[in-house]
Structure 1
């Protein structure tokens, strides 16, 4: 806290005087703070630019790969069949019938008041012959169900009410046993007894108990290609989705159909065009951002004069480098052919435009050439973007790191100035305080001398 040294003797407003002197002393620190503010604004803008360029690098990298432009649509003549086409799909069509859908096995026990065996020992035999024994905590149907559900045998058990025992009036229950996966591989058999009993043939099959039944058998989904011809071929799947009938195509069946279904796969020119448009839009977003940060603002100061304030990127070489590298990547000819042939052009103002109609005409005329051109442009944009935004060695990244290091150094200097200015204020306060003391002493001496002189004058008289 500063000393209150306003001049009681001198009459000077020493507080204001010291504050004025300190403002002059603090000019170097004020300049440092202004530099930190400007640099922080620049870093924030450069980080936003880096994020945009990194996103462009990801998009361009995906577009440059075959899967990025190898886009197709798959359509079905039946509402009971849906399909999607991915990488590797080729144009064509295929006829097939849907013979059956995949389903999980469901088996139920007969009505029981409690499990007939003490203790309940069960053996599940999977479709591949694997056996697993389960022992329940008690003979209650609930405990048997719990033991099955926690055993990890690929079967879930549900206790279902089955009325009352007509002779005893006790509640009856059935256990519904369901495979946890569809397809023939999910089939199971449950025996009352140990695996050794099953092997010896002495274990009772659940379905042999009174009232037990198999509600639904496990089965694979099945389609028949070219049904009714000498080339008929069946294809099965443990689920209702088939992913290996046609390359790159996944189809899901939801209803059986003896009437042939036609699956058609065609190149999706609209989707490929959208990919190209997204690439151009991402580039323009970056150019627009740089232009905004390059803009110079004018205003009026307190004296009525005109002020000119540069943007965060005004005169910045890194921002110019970003624009130059990306513009070159997208506008350089492809094997001597301008990208404008495929609808990608650069205007005189530096904006990238995409002509969907021109691209559609190019891909219709030569699909492979149009897709290859788009991949080439995307690959060059990806390379340029990675050079700029790589998180370790990118040009933008390095610039940000350098600015952050400089700001740290400036902040250290500002802290040093805080200490220096505090010492200077203390010195000034002591100086003016001592001045007041000296003035007070001089005033006292003056009063004493005046008194002495007055006494001499009185004595002479």
Structure 2
């Protein structure tokens, strides 16, 4: 009898069976992975939308403060005679500049000496006094009594003059130059305890005892502006023209100066906005269009966000802001929409910008045109200037009413300075905050000399915000700024007699006042000349500047709401990380993708376990089959042996 089990397993490919069964377990995993890829494509499209909208919001923000950035430009007919810089609050105007005289510092020089290093000049003490300031003592001894040594000692003393040694072809001379220009910065050099030739370095203007020679006197700069003579201690003239700083360059020069609107810079900002808008609109078109390209993240020839209601709604809002009527424009204005200044929509929703038309409109009415882009206020009264708004300010026209105007801190001496000058030396102590400055006035000083000395000293000592004036021969002091924050006091060491400044030994105090008024009938807070609406209402946050001394009704301010405010609100809502539809969409997709990945992980784990179990079972089967084959071989051999024995 013959038994064989090999036929039971000879046709089984165990590895093939395991591979096929494992592939069957993998099919639902592959389906989930394909779903995840689709969601990832959609998520990427939302990322493109978010990036494009964020870039657009950044570009739009450049239009936010069109009145707060420096939107002024200054042009000069003769830039060799004068240069200028301009601030954003400079009024639009033309000025004639002529009769330029440059400020000079005092220059002195000594007699000739044979050597700068070997010749001994002498010893003693130099007393250097600039203007009415405190004299600085410079000690000259055996360690520094050469020309070079004396120059170094003066420079190290930082007395307000600089020293140098020059060779004139025959000998060496010490030169002294004032550190600052202006008549008030003339200096004297006194000498005490002198030996040798040190006494020859003395200098006092108008005396015959001077050893040093003046090669150039200290003098103020001068310029005539629209026929009015202006003086300045330096060649930089500030305050003469509101918002303009002049730098005088050429003596006897002249020039016309024109303050205008910086239209070119604004056009550049609008171009950047239009470019960012077109990039954002193109991105929205690509991700939502039918028949989109693969490069836009499209799947099957269409954008991954095709038919998305939020995207379509956003496109409609953005295009409406471009094509719609602006809010809060001035009645009767020719510029009430972006289309009127050269921005129009193409058929695909992108912008077409006519820069020539925009520039022309800016030249015609800069204020109204910029109001189409940012929140701008247009006052009807020249005494009222628009400063700024906040997000609380609504577009509209608001009446301005002033109860009292702002004032400077100001005080006037009790009597005039004598025409022949002060009868004796006098010291004034002027204090503001924690700073006190003592001004020393020389006997014989006229009112103009008193004013010049006070202003020079205050400027040097850090109280330049207080200015001395000649009020028909009477000394007047006042602050340059307005408001209750401006305050100072002054006291003299001399009685208020007819021979002095008229200030007296009783301390006099002065303080400014803030503007008081209302806008749109709403409560407003004054700070200097600035009035800010703080009471509830449509004008909340509006800030204006009130100049002059007019009170009562000062016309109105029309606040426009440009494309910045409206578009920024739309973009902020869309991009809000908590409530925005972009965040909601991306959050939902990320949650879905996370869930799919969890399912894939679970299925992969289950498939691995099932595959491992099959391999175990097939391995066990192989062992059993091998055992059966072994038993079969034994039985076969046994029966074959038994059969052979019985035959024998």
Give the TM interval when normalised to the shorter protein.
0.5 to 0.7
Match of 1:303 in 2: none
Instruction: Confirm whether residue 52 of structure 1 aligns to residue 47 of structure 2.
Output: no
Match of 1:345 in 2: 344
Change (3 A) 1:414 1:424: same
What secondary structure does 1:395 align onto?
helix
CA contact (8 A) 2:45 2:287 kept: no
* Greater relative CO, 1 or 2 (CA 8 Å, sep 6+): 1
What secondary structure does 2:562 align onto?
helix
Match of 1:287 in 2: 281
Question: What are the residue-to-residue correspondences of 1:25-174 with 2, within 5 Å?
Answer: 26-27=29-30, 30-31=33-34, 33-34=36-37, 37-38=40-41, 41-42=44-45, 44-63=47-66, 65=67, 71=72, 73-77=74-78, 79-83=80-84, 86-104=87-105, 112-113=116-117, 125-127=129-131, 129-130=133-134, 139=143
Change (3 A) 1:276 1:144: same
Aligned-partner Cα distance in 1 for 2:355–2:63: 18
Q: Deviations over 1:66-97 (max 9, x none)?
A: 767x6555332564133455534445433332
Of the candidates 392, 395, 401, which is equivalent to residue 574 of structure 2? 395
Match of 1:323 in 2: 315
Question: What are the residue-to-residue correspondences of 1:225-264 with 2, within 5 Å?
Answer: 225-226=225-226, 232-257=227-252, 260-264=254-258
CA contact (8 A) 1:106 1:215 kept: yes
Match of 1:456 in 2: 639
Of the candidates 438, 441, 460, which is equivalent to residue 620 of structure 2? 438
CA contact (8 A) 1:60 1:379 kept: no
Match of 1:200 in 2: none
Greater percentage in strand: 2
Aligned-partner Cα distance in 2 for 1:18–1:191: 112
Aligned-partner Cα distance in 1 for 2:177–2:215: 10
Match of 1:382 in 2: 564
Q: Deviations over 1:295-345 (max 9, x none)?
A: 54357xxxxxx9624446544455444433333333222468555444443
Give 1:255 shift.
0.5
CA contact (8 A) 1:127 1:185 kept: yes
Structure 2 length as normaliser, TM-score? 0.51
Q: Deviations over 1:176-232 (max 9, x none)?
A: 6662x5555666566678xxx9xxxxx979545998566655544220235xxxxx5
What secondary structure does 1:87 align onto?
coil
Give 1:18 shift.
7.1
Match of 2:609 in 1: 427
Aligned-partner Cα distance in 1 for 2:72–2:159: 41
Greater percentage in helix: 1
Match of 1:308 in 2: 300
How many residues of Structure 1 are paired with residues of Structure 2 in the alignment? 420
Change (3 A) 1:412 1:247: same
Aligned-partner Cα distance in 1 for 2:592–2:107: 75
CA contact (8 A) 2:183 2:219 kept: yes
Structure 1 length as normaliser, TM-score? 0.67
CA contact (8 A) 2:371 2:561 kept: no
Match of 1:332 in 2: 324
Give 1:132 shift.
5.9
Aligned-partner Cα distance in 1 for 2:107–2:583: 64
Match of 1:4 in 2: none
